[in-house]
Chain A
Amino acid sequence: MAMPILELRKLTKRFGNLIALREFDLDINQGELIGVIGPNGSGKTTLFNLISGYYRRFEGEIIYRGKRISGLRSDQIARKGIARVFQSYVLYEDATVLENITRCFYLICKTNSWQSFFNTSRYCKEEVTQRAEAEELLQPVGLAEFRDSLAGKLPYGYCRLLALAMALATNPTLLLLDEPMAGISHEEKGLVINLIKKLGDQGITIMLVEHDVKAVVDICPRLVVLDFGRKIADGSPEEVTTDRKVIEAYLGVEEG
């Protein structure tokens, strides 16, 4: 069996007396599309905060492609090919939509800072191709016509789509999506679901934290359920949705 792309070993994160995540274990295989669900405050976002290096002090180990990444800074983790889309409004608000995307090409630039400083022809060429690539990335999320508007002025749904396009600009191997469907319209939701499926088909490993259980059940072949910082279920949507503990903790409450 192939080595998992991401191994989480006994992850525990405390905030004072509150334990946000408790001895969390998970193996994710290359190309998997895995949904993480759980009620509010169950530790979903904390999990992403640990993987992406937002919190650097915690117990346990994170191993990515056989190498330990726990304790590294966010930028070092991003450099290894892990991209994260934030739950809330995290954009370069004072820049245009297109500029937001180009800023995310930082990791995949082929020319170095010196070439860029002296404005060499290779750098100029790369700038032109990057602009084209950025416009291409805006197509599937339907933001091409907004490329010159300020990101801070976009309606909320578009912001989420832009954030998704920005994460893709870094050409990630592992994509962490934090509630990409929260607070967006029905059509936009369709757009996001299609995009996620397409990315899955391209072989990108995706971890999807979502509140909307229905959407996750539809697209993720594997689900992990969190409750009070513990993993209470892990399996196919059928297994998980029929699991008694899950129904009690989450679906039961949700369905009244």
Chain B
Amino acid sequence: MKKVIPPVVGLILVLCFPLITTDPFILSLVIEAGVWAIAVMGFVAILRTGEFSLGQAAFMAIGGYASALVTINLGIPFWFGLVVAGIAAALVALALGVVVLRLGGIYFAIVTLVFGEIVRIVASNWQSLTRGATGLTPSAPSTIHIGNITIDFIASKVPFYYVMVVLVLIAAVVFWRADRSRLGRIFRSIASNELLAEHMGIHLMKYKVIIFAIAGFFTGIAGAFFCHFTLFMGPTTFDVWDSIMILIMGIVGGTSSVVLGPIIGALVLSAGGGYLTSALMVGMKPLIYGIIVIVVVVLLPGGLVDLGRYISRAPRISSMPAVRRHKKRGD
């Protein structure tokens, strides 16, 4: 029973949050943090197989464009747009993963980074589809009437907040279950010792591609949700900087847990950073982010999620997952 209490209390607090404040500025920050949390969960899940992706924002862009295009051009409702976004991003991840995950290690990081640029260039130049830098203007979900209750996405940010909570919950449950199930054991085996895992019968590519595609699916949905929330989708909505931010949020939050670390990382850096933006001089924010990253890596390799254990001086169970150098074999 004791294990159930913290998440339930946490969930109740999260659900009651709009009762405390309906300030659109605060709510927007939290909603955006939720979007990033989903993307970071995907990043961390991939990282825990020993590969680090520097192109996660590209999947948000693909999801965003997919959803914006189908909702605008085909008139499909927002909700199906999200699903289309997830599937589109997952398919691209699948194709990219099959090619790039063979390489692994630093190659994977470089190529995913480069992939983010490819998406940006295609989005800027394919004027007829994406309207280039002008961008697309996806609309908010239409008002829902259930009996006497009216849910209006335009008048208030609260409905968006709950949609975000549901999306984060779904992603969290999927990533958490995957981590706790045999899949998680396989991922840890691969991260720990690829050679041994392969000789024990694990098809490395299969599982790496699976987690890459799952992460792509949720990251795509996150991107789609974000663009319907901000009502804009352009080539630089999600760019290389955002991919790096996703990595930073993951590391700062802590990679020893697939769910809590990303949520903490996203809340601290995205919502916290956003809250401070107006108070800071131009240039202060990247400076602070840079310092936070370096301090965390040097002093607290387990991330903020590890802070409790660090203070209580309990043995730390984990720091960062092992990431491979690229393999060297004779032939």
**A interface with B by C-beta (< 8 Å):** 15, 52, 54-55, 57, 73-76, 78-79, 83-84, 86, 90-95, 102-104, 106-107, 109, 111, 113, 116-119, 123, 166, 170
Contact = CB atoms under 8 A, between A and B. Distances in A.
A117 B181 contact: yes
Contacts of B185: 102-103, 106
A91 B196 contact: yes
Contacts of B177: 117-119
A83 B331 CA distance: 22
B199 A84 contact: yes
Nearest to A18: B330
B183 interface: yes
Chain B interface secondary structure, helix, strand, loop or mixed?
helix
B50 to A, nearest CB: 11
B322 A103 contact: no
Nearest to A92: B192
A113 B331 contact: no
B286 interface: no
Nearest to B181: A116
Interface string B176-198: 01101111011011001101111
A57 B193 contact: no
B182 A113 contact: yes
A75 B192 contact: no
A51 B31 CA distance: 54
Contacts of B322: 94
Interface of B: 177-178, 180-183, 185-186, 188-189, 192-193, 195-204, 318, 322, 329-331
Given A83-B200, A93-B192, 16 more contacts: A15-B330, A52-B199, A54-B199, A78-B198, A90-B193, A90-B196, A92-B192, A92-B196, A103-B188, A106-B185, A107-B200, A111-B182, A117-B181, A118-B177, A119-B180, A123-B181
A15 B196 CA distance: 23
B222 to A, nearest CB: 21
A84 B198 CA distance: 11
B215 to A, nearest CB: 16
16 contacts: A52-B199, A55-B330, A75-B200, A75-B203, A78-B199, A91-B193, A92-B189, A102-B185, A103-B185, A103-B200, A106-B189, A106-B200, A107-B200, A111-B182, A116-B183, A117-B183
B104 to A, nearest CB: 15
Nearest to B210: A113
A158 to B, nearest CB: 16
Nearest to B322: A94
Nearest to A117: B181
Contact of A93 (B186, B193, B203, B330): B193
Contact of A119 (B181, B193, B199, B202): B181
Contacts of A84: 199
Contact of A75 (B180, B181, B198): B198
A95 B196 CA distance: 13
A106 B181 contact: no
